[in-house]
Structure 1
Amino acid sequence: MSIPVYNLFSPLYDKKLVNRSLEMLIKDLEERLEETFIEISQDEIGHYHSPLIFVNSGGVEGYFKEIYRLFHEPYIILASDTNNSLAASLEILTFLKQQGLKAEIIHGDLSYVASRINAWQKVTAAKKRLNGINVGAIGKPSDWLIASNVDYDKVRKAFAINIIDLKITELLAEIKKVSASPTLLTELKNGAQKGKIQSLYQKTFDQESLDGAFHIYLALKNICNKYKLQALTIRCFDLLNTVYNTGCIALALLNDEKIISACEGDLSALLSMLILNALTGEPVFMANPSRIDTKTNQLILAHCTLPLSMADLFTLNTHFESNIGVGIHGEIRCGEATIFRLNADLRRYFVSGIIILENQYQDNLCRTQIKVKMNESVKHLLLNPMGNHQLICKGEHSELVNIFMNMILEE
């Protein structure tokens, strides 16, 4: 991997001396980042999304003003502690802010500088990854999600994501078609996912219900292929009284295939899942807060599906609320994780590092249940929630989410 760098240098300085003074800084950063700095020319600036702007010396402000439009936002400015680099960077940053542009100076000790460059690399890559993807909204949000409707135009402007409305009746028709073709299920059992499918069938569970769950999966796959969807959310409770099954298995498999999928038609939760996955590459567990303990700063999160790749172990059970279909009781490895939720207005969000303390099973909650301790106060969820569903991924990524969201919120 390499990091594109555009060097700003003033002819007022001795270039050889400046380069010599920066050699150790560059070498140390490359070692910490495990990547190489690649110098780019002015003609190449537009070929890269937010290349690193390295202010080698002072006296470059006027020249930068002439060329700043060649860069894409955000402007990531690296300033050293020699040759008036920081002074020039401050003037450049002030100018960019006056133009209403997103920009930041990275300066300080090597550890901070390296971690910040790494974070910005991930953030810009995530935004590029989300750009232009198609999201399917299969049915409207469930009736109880009264605070989770999003403005499609705002989503398109903020993330360049296209939302495609699809009727639940189209999915039901596709399920009927798949169910009438037994060979499709046979092909699935013997196909590329043979091992995973067989592991599900080997669980002690009603085979007819499993067949029905896989029919839903195959139908959703067909819809994804038809509309070129990279993500979807489904009004899944409508399946209970129509095909007498649930989408839990289907969404678990789709999420493992990087087709980010959310329950209950919750688009703001789906956007939160997309952001977490794009930033971290980790699968995401969508869950309800079920119990909150303000004394211990702990909460229990539960839902009936999760990406199977998140679970060290899993068993099958019925869907909690309906006691029909196929739900999943998965166990997620204890340790550091992140909880995140974007508000439906796209202007507010909540993120915190968490520690997964234990997995549990109580029959009066959704099937996958984790107890976590939150770094931020759990009172945030009681006083200023962003919605019901919370999104969890492994690893502590709250700073990365904050950088990404601050970039989005500035737009």
Structure 2
Amino acid sequence: MNINVIQLMSPLHGEENVINSLRPSMNFLEDNFDVNYNSQENSDGITVVWVMTGGVEGKFKEIYPWLKKPIILLAEDINNSLPAALEIMAYVRKQQEKAYILHGGFDEIKQEIEKLYFLQEAAKKIKDARIASIGGPSDWLIASHVDFHKVSEIWGSNFVYIPMEDLLKSISEIEIASQDDYFSKAAAAIGIQETDVQAADRIYRGLKKLVQEKNITALTLKCFDLLDPLKNTGCLPLARLNDEGIIAGCEGDMPSLFTMLLVYILTGKRSFMANPSKIDKKANTILLAHCTVPTSIVEEYSLKTHFESGIGVAVAGKFAEQPVTVVKLGGRALDKLYIAEGAIVSNTYDEHRCRTQIKVQMEYGLDSLLKNPLGNHLIIVPGKIETLFRGFMDYMEIIY
């Protein structure tokens, strides 16, 4: 890991004396990181301002404008370093910028540097993302529209609108090809013909073509608009895109897609976008269902028809009983958060719900879900990630 270290010391102490007094810290830095000292360029990695002595506040103020943000200060327990770092920290906060002080044992400092590097890289990936809305949001998502300008101001992401006509044209240019191994892994195909799978494959390839042509990181699809012209759905194509690391959501639900993308960036995990179908407050359980799920996060899956329309190819996945996190970003600026942890306790099979169905025993959070919902979908992530997710929101200084 590369770190750029800016050394600040007062001439009153004498440079040689300061370096000698802090030799253990210098050895620690050079033993654990690729260190570049005193560069004024925003190089790769993170920049650490090493407050080696007191009396350097004025020097810091001079260099502050060109320092990479957020400001990370390394404070020692000698040479009046810590009080100087606290003064600098207060100054930076007055500029309404993020700042951190590294202080303590070497193991603790190493972990904090690695954490800040990880968070910085995650923020960069979100900022660099090109997120596509294909066809816009579904008509029923009356509370899930976002202000792309505000979202870009907070998160930095770029948003692209692609008309449904562009996707239909892309699909029409795809020839039917022999199916690869991906489509033969299903445990069963119930009510599905080979021609249905071939049509779903063409949708997948048409989406993939748009992704490559327009350099798309993630996409959400107004999938019900495929039912009439193609007599098929986006369920299986979206599952496959997710499996390939192209995060894809349905119904044109941008808040859900953005949540899925952030989950993937922070954890490397694919997630399940689903409808809350039933809440049992006494048992503290929630039943979640949808017609698409990444096949990489389930134990097995079958192909069935799409629930609402009875046509096309949907994915009925079977989850392992395991801890999960239920999460959703919402609001017009995607700056509101619902998050709670629980565990999958069973898979259910009810013909009156979407095809992948799980019951989750929640540890907490159902009351707030009913009182302050962020829309009609939730995102289910294998494992417990609440601490990591909230930590990133705090790093981004999003008050949720």
Aligned to 1:344: 331
Out of 123, 142, 165, the residue aligned to residue 146 of structure 1 is 142
1:227-277 CA-partner distances (Å, limit 9, x unpaired): 221211111011122211110111011112221111101112111111111
With 201-210 and 379-388 compared, the bigger mean Cα shift is at 201-210
Aligned to 1:213: 200
Q: Is this contact kept in 2: 1:49–1:72, CA < 8 A?
A: no
SS at match of 1:242: helix
Q: Distance in 1 between matches of 2:379 and 2:262?
A: 10
Q: CA deviation at 1:44?
A: 5.0
Q: Distance in 2 between matches of 1:327 and 1:44?
A: 54
Question: AA paired with 1:18?
Answer: S
Q: Is this contact kept in 2: 1:2–1:38, CA < 8 A?
A: yes
SS at match of 1:387: coil
Question: AA paired with 1:352?
Answer: A
Aligned to 2:65: 69
Distance 1:109 1:348, change over 3 A: farther
Q: CA deviation at 1:163?
A: 1.6
Residues 1:258 and 2:245 aligned together = yes
Q: Is this contact kept in 2: 1:56–1:80, CA < 8 A?
A: yes
Q: Is this contact kept in 2: 1:9–1:55, CA < 8 A?
A: yes
Residues 1:40 and 2:36 aligned together = yes
Residues 1:22 and 2:25 aligned together = yes
Out of 196, 201, 204, the residue aligned to residue 182 of structure 2 is 196
Q: CA RMSD in A?
A: 2.7
Q: CA deviation at 1:391?
A: 1.7
Q: How high is the TM-score relative to the length of structure 2?
A: 0.88
Percentage identity across paired residues of the two chains: 37
Number of residue pairs matched by the alignment: 394
Distance 1:403 1:77, change over 3 A: farther
Q: CA deviation at 1:294?
A: 2.6
Distance 1:201 1:360, change over 3 A: closer
SS at match of 2:299: strand
Q: Distance in 1 between matches of 2:71 and 2:341?
A: 27
Distance 1:393 1:57, change over 3 A: farther
Q: How high is the TM-score relative to the length of structure 1?
A: 0.86
Q: Distance in 1 between matches of 2:137 and 2:364?
A: 29
Q: Distance in 1 between matches of 2:282 and 2:41?
A: 53
SS at match of 2:213: helix
1:303-359 CA-partner distances (Å, limit 9, x unpaired): 111112112211122212222211111123333333221113223222233333333
Aligned to 1:33: none
Question: AA paired with 1:105?
Answer: I
Structure 1: runs of 5+ lacking an equivalent: 31-35
Distance 1:88 1:292, change over 3 A: farther
Q: Distance in 2 between matches of 1:320 and 1:202?
A: 17
Q: Distance in 2 between matches of 1:394 and 1:314?
A: 17
SS at match of 1:354: strand
Residues 1:231 and 2:218 aligned together = yes
Q: CA deviation at 1:25?
A: 6.8
Please show how residues 164-179 of structure 1 align to structure 2 within 5 Å.
Answer: 164-178=160-174
Structure 2: runs of 5+ lacking an equivalent: none
